[in-house]
Structure 1
Amino acid sequence: MTATKAAPGKESPAASGDAPEHRPRGEVRLPAALATLVAIALYALLPQDVLIGPRFVIPGLEMLLLISLLVVNPVRMSRQNRVTRGLSIVIVVVIAAANLASLGLVLRELVSKQEGLPLLVAALQVWATDVIVFGLAFWEIDRGGPVVRNLVDRRRLPRADFRFPQDEDKGTVVEVDRGSSQASGWMPTFIDYLYVSLSNSSAFSPTDTMPLSHRAKLLMGVESTAALITSVLVIARGVGNLS
């Protein structure tokens, strides 16, 4: 049996070091859209004392932004311009700002008030929203965002903000190597960034995925600090309620 040879003047992808491109034409929109809806609902269900303004003003604004983005890319993230890119960032910033403000109010209430259970539930809602919103932020900033990551050739992508395990799997055992970024063209999706956010918020530090840029480190630092403060006060309040 003879080995297959590359055409004259051309190198195979393995020989040239370029990863084969097997990426779909745009990331599926549904996971990120559902996560955004959950974050909006969690905020809308918070007690009035820890909300910023009337209950449905901020959730209503967030829904309008989300609907605008869904109109442009209802199924897959395949189209983008300056307006849609700006709206994508704005909705993340609005959710993050509202949630951080609510976190401050929840912490104030936990310290000053006696009735604990509703505030403990509110703190859990804020923590869960934090996980979602930082997952969205990581998803939006890394390598130019979801549209650019999946539609632009790897060699022309912006510098990565995160290094995933798949980015280091080349040269390992065969069954692991096949899933590496270099061998398969693997690219992170929203679920990967949501997991990064969850692990950072739970462990208060990066776990399997490392931040590379200053903005990624700053975001992860803010998230882990907020999660740590929330956890400490919630545990302290819970122990106080049991005693």
Structure 2
Amino acid sequence: MNEDMDDARRRLARIERLWATGERELVPAWRRATRGEPRWTVTVVILAAVALQLTLPHRLILLHPAWALPALELVLLAALIAGSPRRVEPRTRLLRSLGLTLAGVISLANGWAAVRLVADLVNGRGEHGAVPLLLTGGVIWVTNVIVFALWYWEWDRGGPMARVRGQRQYADFLFTQMQSPQVAPPDWEPAFLDYLYLSFTNATAFSPTDVMPLSRWSKMLMMLQSSVSLVTVVLVVARAVNILK
């Protein structure tokens, strides 16, 4: 009798394992609970954004001394790393708030610089040389790409910590690997560099390319990024050409 019970338990356990395996195969990695992505990629890109801000002319700085906002950004980044050093994992709500605050501070600083640059160009003030103007415009443009990459990453399906839990069923951005899972590994899911690529292509093409926005907020955010990028590029290049003439 005991042998029959043990055999039944083994069979039941085997059936449960097969069922769980089949379920994982049917549900793609980006839809189920997974490990958090490595922290180092987003950390390196944020450090690049901080370094770029330090190169801007003083007239485009929101808060003086010029190192004040970059220092605040580094403090927020250090707190994020201390709370979750290796991977982006859903440990506390405070980490989520810190991440959004960091993205907001970088956005505020770069947005102010972009507005001041556009105002200078429209009013004929600012840089008198084509090369310094192009360098300043390039710094703002690249930082803008990083800023929107952070927002896409922070808000798609509730943010990186919510994606780790697999809480939300519907995606805000449709990546190619979601439409054609056969072209990607079975454990593929979007990471920060995918959102950085999305931001870069949207800023250069002024429209979606291979990643489609699905939710209304994602469409509005991409539209805003394209508009900012278009205005910055057109005005900076036009002014530089005028200076060269």
Q: Normalized against structure 1, the TM-score is what?
A: 0.84
| Structure possessing the higher radius of gyration over alpha carbons | 2
Give the structure with the higher percent helix. 2
1:31 to 26, 31, 41: 41
2:240 to 222, 234, 238: 238
- 2:219 maps to 1:217: yes
Deviations 1:143-172 (A, max 9, x none): 12222223x24xx325311010011004xx
Of 22-31 and 129-138, deviating more is: 22-31
Letter in 1 for 2:242: G
Q: 1:53 is matched with which residue? A: 63
Q: Whole-Å Cα distance in 1 between the matches of residues 68 and 23 of structure 2?
A: 54
Q: 1:73 is matched with which residue? A: 84
Q: 1:17 is matched with which residue? A: 26
Paired residues of 1:142 and 1:160 also in contact (CA < 8 A): yes
Paired residues of 2:29 and 2:188 also in contact (CA < 8 A): no
- State the structure with bigger RCO (CA 8 A, min sep 6), 1 or 2: 2
Paired residues of 1:23 and 1:187 also in contact (CA < 8 A): no
Deviations 1:39-68 (A, max 9, x none): 111112100011112101111111111111
Instruction: Name structure 1 gaps, 5 residues minimum.
Output: 1-6, 171-176
Paired residues of 1:144 and 1:158 also in contact (CA < 8 A): no
Tell me how many residue pairs correspond in the alignment.
225
Q: Whole-Å Cα distance in 2 between the matches of residues 61 and 25 of structure 1?
A: 29
Identical counterparts, % of pairs: 37
- 2:172 maps to 1:161: yes
Letter in 1 for 2:136: A
Q: Whole-Å Cα distance in 1 between the matches of residues 179 and 158 of structure 2?
A: 20
Q: Secondary structure at the match of 2:170?
A: coil
CA gap of 1:236–1:145, structure 2 versus 1, over 3 A, is: same
Q: Whole-Å Cα distance in 2 between the matches of residues 13 and 89 of structure 1?
A: 37
Letter in 2 for 1:98: A
Q: 1:14 deviation in Å?
A: 7.4
CA gap of 1:210–1:53, structure 2 versus 1, over 3 A, is: same
Q: Whole-Å Cα distance in 2 between the matches of residues 228 and 185 of structure 1?
A: 36
- 2:184 maps to 1:179: yes
Computed over aligned residues only, the root mean square deviation of the Cα atoms, in angstroms, reads 2.3
Paired residues of 1:205 and 1:224 also in contact (CA < 8 A): yes
Q: Normalized against structure 2, the TM-score is what?
A: 0.84
Q: Whole-Å Cα distance in 1 between the matches of residues 15 and 29 of structure 2?
A: 19
Letter in 2 for 1:103: A
